[in-house]
Amino acid sequence: MPQDRTGAFAIALVALVLAGCQTERFGSPYASRPAPLAAAPSGSVTVGQLPPPSQPTGITEFPAAPGAEAGGQMAAIDPATQAGAGPVSKNSLLGSWNVSTAGASCQMFLTLTKYGNSSRGGTRGCGNELANMRAWDVSGNQVVIYNENGDTIAQLYPSGQERLDGRTTNGSPVSISR
């Protein structure tokens, strides 16, 4: 007998819930929907040929590449001239940098993860000795780049906002910037 009561109670409960869903007391979710907007003209469209591109006046060739004025030689960065640049903090250097070296571009990544006595770093797409970069450190206003053996492969100095310049140990100029 108790099973009959439970079954009857369940059926009555389902019927009550279904009856409550049909009431207009809560309103229909579709009754409050706003009416669609009427289409409005957006202007006219014209078809025609574009005029030919204009040529800049007074320019007949590309400008000389940087360093070409000095016979193709890049100026060396003298650490003594960089002494006034001020110290560099590791936290200001963290992250991704764009590298320009020996006429090629690649990327450098600097982290605070320990790598021996330095911090871990690496490059992507670099073809010279920077391809062997494994670590980096800061010494005053100088950023030193190391290979996996702990040998110095480059030294950089701040030369502007978010820019460092220097040379590899082989003498190739290196610039990193964001």
How do residues 134-143 score in pLDDT, each as one tens digit?
Answer: 999 998 889 9
**Cα(129)–Cα(61) distance, integer angstroms:** 35
pLDDT of residue 39: 79
Q: Which of 18-22, 95-99, 101-105, 162-166 has the lowest mean pLDDT?
A: 18-22
Residues 47-97: pLDDT tens digits? Answer: 888 788 776 666 556 566 655 555 544 445 555 445 455 678 899 899 999
Stated pTM of the model: 0.53
Which amino acid does the sequence have at 44? S
In order of start, what are the domains of the chain with their CATH numbers?
A: 87-177 (2.40.128.10)
Give the per-residue pLDDT at 80: 42
Q: Is 50 exceeded by the pLDDT of residue 99?
A: yes
